[in-house]
Amino acid sequence: MRRDKEDRATDAPRFIFGPVVSGRLGLSLGLDLLGARICSFDCLYCEAGPTEALTVARKPYVPAGKILAELARWKAAGHGRPDAVTLGGLGEPTLNSDCAEIIAGAKELFPGVPVAVLTNSSLLPDPDVRAALGAADIVLPSMDTLVAAEYARLNRPHAAVDLGGLRRGLLDFRAGYGGALCLEVLLADGINDSEENLEALRDYCRELSPDRVDVVTLSRPGAHPGATAVLKPVLARFRQALGPAAASPAPAPEPATEGHGPTALAARRNDDLGPSLLASVKRRPQTARGLAAALGHSLDAVQAALDALERDGAVRQRVEGREIFYSG
Ligand code: SF4
């Protein structure tokens, strides 16, 4: 019995999580390029918890070979086709110096599936990073504020990440990039919802001309209690101000009925549910209902697996409003 458990733990994905239902990307299969809380920022609102290694050093934190081998096993196991493969995870993915190889490998394994990269934009002043991201189909950079004091308070960057350089780096990337650029601005109440930031972001969006701007606020528990959501009118004002490109976040897509989504995924057995759930909630707090929809299992099965993980001390609950979120 003990041996069986150990064997299954060895097979469990370590760097792949989800798929999760993403409002912007659909059913998104996540790749964690860091394997630990390594980031160039330590944002107050981070869903993955406080940054443990605040750095700008680029290294193969998780080598491309390991991630791509895991991705190939995931594909061979007969999982349905995701809507996107997304590089992100427990920190800033462009810190992984194998980023370009991972993008190329994901495209080869899943032809026709867009490869997306979530980035905090901090490394874009580096031409090597811009070149690596140039091969992605969708890049989703974040830029929460252009006011230095707000940036220091909300994003809590590594000392080497200068706001002016970051601002310029994203413009330089945009100038040479042929894919879709979707800017994200996250607003925290009383921190970056100022008039000064709104004006600065409006000018910047005109210059950057992203394909889309998503203005969002906190919807899940963040790393620090200091950050809370803005009210709806504030969100609406920023969305309106950030120009015609500032679309509201797209609603989560309806589950697909062929090829991927719950119908196909439900055919999978439940015996790998615990490790999959754990891998997913370690990266992002989620509700049992959200996990059930994303992973294609019944709510009862997901709830039972979460209860077991909680008894083992592997996950914990946090109540936010009327929802219960689980995190690893
Ligand atoms: S939200 Fe993103 S950029 Fe900020 S600390 Fe978390 S992983 Fe890093």
What is the predicted pLDDT for the residue at 254?
A: 32
Ligand 1 centroid to residue 30 C-alpha, Å: 15
Closest atom of ligand 1 to 91 CA is 7
Closest atom of ligand 1 to 122 CA is 3
| Average pLDDT over all residues of the chain | 84
Closest atom of ligand 1 to 88 CA is 7
What is the predicted pLDDT for the residue at 289?
A: 77
What is the predicted pLDDT for the residue at 10?
A: 53
What is the predicted pLDDT for the residue at 116?
A: 97
Ligand 1 centroid to residue 28 C-alpha, Å: 18
- 128-147 burial code (b ≥16 CB/10 A, e <16): ebbebbeebbbbbbbbbbbb
What is the predicted pLDDT for the residue at 219?
A: 81
Cα–Cα distance measured from residue 177 to residue 95, given in angstroms and rounded to the nearest whole number: 20
C-alpha dihedral over 22, 269, 319, 214, to 10 degrees?
Answer: 0
Q: Radius of gyration of the chain from Cα atoms? A: 19
Residue 195 has pLDDT above 50, yes or no: yes
Substitution site in 39, 42, 161 for ligand 1 pocket (most atoms within 8 Å of beta carbon): 39
Question: Alpha carbon of 168 to those of 47, 162, 171, 242, 248: distances in Å?
Answer: 27, 10, 5, 19, 26
- Domains in the chain (CATH in brackets) are 2-268 (3.20.20.70)
Please count the CA atoms within 13 angstroms of the CA of 303 that sit on its side-chain side.
Answer: 5
| pTM to 2 decimal places | 0.77
* HEC secondary structure over 220-268: CCCCCCCCCCCCHHHHHHHHHHCCCCCCCCCCCCCCCCCCCCHHHHCCC
Per-residue pLDDT of 251-296, as tens digits, reads: 333 332 222 222 222 333 344 677 777 777 776 778 887 777 666 6
pLDDT band at 194 (very low <50, low <70, confident <90, very high): very high
Beta strand pairing status for 53-54 and 115-119? unpaired
Per-residue pLDDT of 286-316, as tens digits, reads: 888 777 766 666 677 788 788 888 878 888 8
Per-residue pLDDT of 102-124, as tens digits, reads: 999 999 999 999 999 999 999 99
Q: Which two tokens stand for residue 210?
A: 């992203």
Beta strand pairing status for 180-187 and 212-217? parallel
Nearest to 284 by CA among 247, 234, 326: 326
Nearest to 147 by CA among 215, 230, 204: 204
Residue 4 has pLDDT above 50, yes or no: no
Q: Which residues pair with 142 in a beta bridge?
A: 184
Ligand 1 centroid to residue 222 C-alpha, Å: 10
Residue 59 has pLDDT above 50, yes or no: yes
